[in-house]
Each structure stands twice: as C-alpha cells, then as structure tokens.
Amino acid sequence: MSEKLEFVRLVLAEDMPVSVLCRRFGIGRTCAYKLIGRYRVEGEAGLVERSRRPHASPGKSPAALEAAAVAIRQAHPAWGGRKIAKVLERKGWPAPSPSTVTGILRRNGIELGRQGGGASPFIRFEHAAPNDLWQMDFKGNVAMRRGRLHPLTVLDDHSRFSVALEACPDQTAHTVKERLIKAFRRYGLPGCIAVDNGPPWGDGGRGDGFTGLTVWLIEQQIVVSHSRPLHPQTLGKDERFHRTLKAEAMAGTPFEGIAQAQHAFDAFRHVYNAERPHEALGGGVPITRYRPSPRDFKDRTEPFDYTGQDIVRRVQNGGQIAAFGRKLRIGRAFAGKLIALRPTAKDGFFEAFFRHQKITSFDLNRKAP
C-alpha cells in the first residue's frame, strides 16, 4: 500500500515520466494508469487491493439448489456427486453435473473423503431379467449392545433390488428358511439362488456342498449355485451391497438389539430400493427395474417325476446309493430322497440329478475303492 501511494504521488508531481517510474517500481503501464485513475477519484481508498471476483456470476448455482444438495448429502453422508445430481434432477431441479454438485459440497465445507464418488466404473455383468438369479449371503457377525447380529441379504442380480434384508440372531438353516419363505410369499420364486460355500447353505467345501437348506430350495424348483471357493466376486453385487449397508445403515453406534437393527434395515432398504440412485442402472433406482416373479411359493412340496430313461435310486442314510454293483456317494443331505442317474455321451460317465439339479458325476471306468 505504501509503495502504491508513493508511486502515485511521484507520478502526479510530474517531475518524471510515467514510463520511467513504471520501470523503476516494476509496475506495468496498464496497472499504473488504473492506480492513478482510482487515486484521483477515491484518494488513498482507491489503492486498496480489490477482489478479482466478478461482480456477477450468471453461471453460479442458485442458493436454493446448493441448500438442496447439501441437505441430501447430510441425509446420506456416503453419497457422492453423481447420486446427488440424479436425486436433484428427479426432484425437478435443472440437471446439474456431478462435478457441479461436488463443487457445491466443497464450497460448503464438505469433502467427499473415502466415500462418495471418485471410483472408476466397473465392467458389469447381469442376468437378463428380474428373478433369473438372486444372490444371498450373511453380512458377517456384528456386535450389538445385547447379543450378536447376523444381517441376511438377498439381492436380485438384474435389478439390484433388495429382496430381503433381515436382522437375524443366528445363521441357522431354520432362520434362513423362515426369512426366505417371507420373501417368497411377497415376491415369488426365483429361477436360481447363488450362495457361497459356508453354512447353512454349504458345508465349507468339505464334501458335496449341499445341505438340508439347499435340498429344500431345490424342492421349491429353484436352482442352487455355489460360488467357487475363494472367489467372493461370484457374489459381487451382494458384496457391494454389504459395503453400502455398512456405510449407510451400520456406521453409527451399535444397535441395542435385533428390533432396533431391523427398524434401521427397513428404513435403509426403502431408500436403497426407491430413492438411492444406482450407477449401474444409469442413475435409476432398483424398484423401477424389478418385477415380482410369476411363480408362487407353495407350502407343500410339489411331486417330481423322473423320465423313463433315468436310473432312479433312493439315497441311504449314509448318503450313498447302490448302482452298477457299487456304492456311490451322493451326500447325507439327500438321505431318503430319490435321485436319478443319467448316462452321458462319454462311455462309463454318469451324472446324478436330484429333481432338476445336477448333484455330481461318476466315472465308472475307475475301479471301485
């Protein structure tokens, strides 16, 4: 400020050309004449440094839009610019770009951090129609203030619709069956359910992989698909759902008990299915792509008839059948059930089926142990 004042006063004294003083003070001539003009009009106040911010910002987001974006972020702290932009558009605001929303958040002191945008898009694969495949898994073993929580999640592969989100006290087959019946009654039966190899729907890779629960599912005319061991990406959509569930519904203090957990899960499930934009759906929400299955759940198991060419055997209590003069292992989960042996195009090779589901295969060319 003092140098500016000195420069201007020397110029106005007219003892030396402006160009010479500009050179000596290191000031450009344009800037010099601007300072001189301001000093003549405003005096010393005209020499105070001024903001370079434009007087008008026609492209600036309206204050109401900024407030709406911040409110959405506060309600959903894990959402980033893309999701918030979609929600604003859905609410009738002129469609802002995700980068505009990110800028709004940062101007209001909100950084995205580890969550809320920035990830590169994935190459995604999905089944062609709703209910072609459901993915099912437990979200760990979570501590509560009283007891333990085992969140059971069931996700439709095509639509990403959360079919079931249940706060369970354990991971038993009875608990899962009870929750699945509830989902089947509301949404119908899927064509296939994909699960991992852990209990209660798998034996941990120690045997044939089938349990009493998976046998029951097969009897409901559902194909059961076990993921490859050590390949959690097989259930990738449900695993991704677990991350969202943890960030948006389980990030606070531990739940008091099962009832409070279920209340929080119900609220989150509604937001996830009907409000939260999903990038894999082009910013849409799962409920717009989901349709219930036309196949109704029946309390009684429907009978099943094998073909006349099938070699039908009943599984013994030890999990074996007698065929071709041998004892062939099927699995204890099928004890008392009828299975079918079918020859393949390769001589001596047979496949074993329980209803529609292939269970295992046998090479009779090998000598019996």
pLDDT, tens only, 250-262: 988 999 999 999 9
DSSP category for residue 31: H
CATH 3.40.140.10, applies to 134-288: no
Task: Identify the residue with better confidence: 110 or 117.
Answer: 110
Residues in the chain: 369
Binned at pLDDT 50, 70 and 90, residue 101 comes out as confident
- Mean pLDDT of the residues in the chain: 84
Binned at pLDDT 50, 70 and 90, residue 310 comes out as very high
- Of the candidate ranges 69-78, 184-193, 224-233, 339-348, the one whose mean pLDDT is the lowest: 224-233
Task: Identify the residue with better confidence: 202 or 262.
Answer: 262
Give SS3 for 338. Answer: strand
Q: 254-260: list long-range contacts, CB under 8 Å, 24+ apart.
A: 254/142, 254/143, 254/144, 254/145, 255/144, 255/145, 255/149, 255/167, 256/144, 256/145, 256/146, 257/144, 257/145, 257/146, 257/147, 258/144, 258/147, 258/149, 258/167, 258/168, 258/169
Binned at pLDDT 50, 70 and 90, residue 207 comes out as low
pLDDT of 170 over the 90 cut = yes
Torsion of CA 238, 243, 247, 253, to 10 degrees: 90
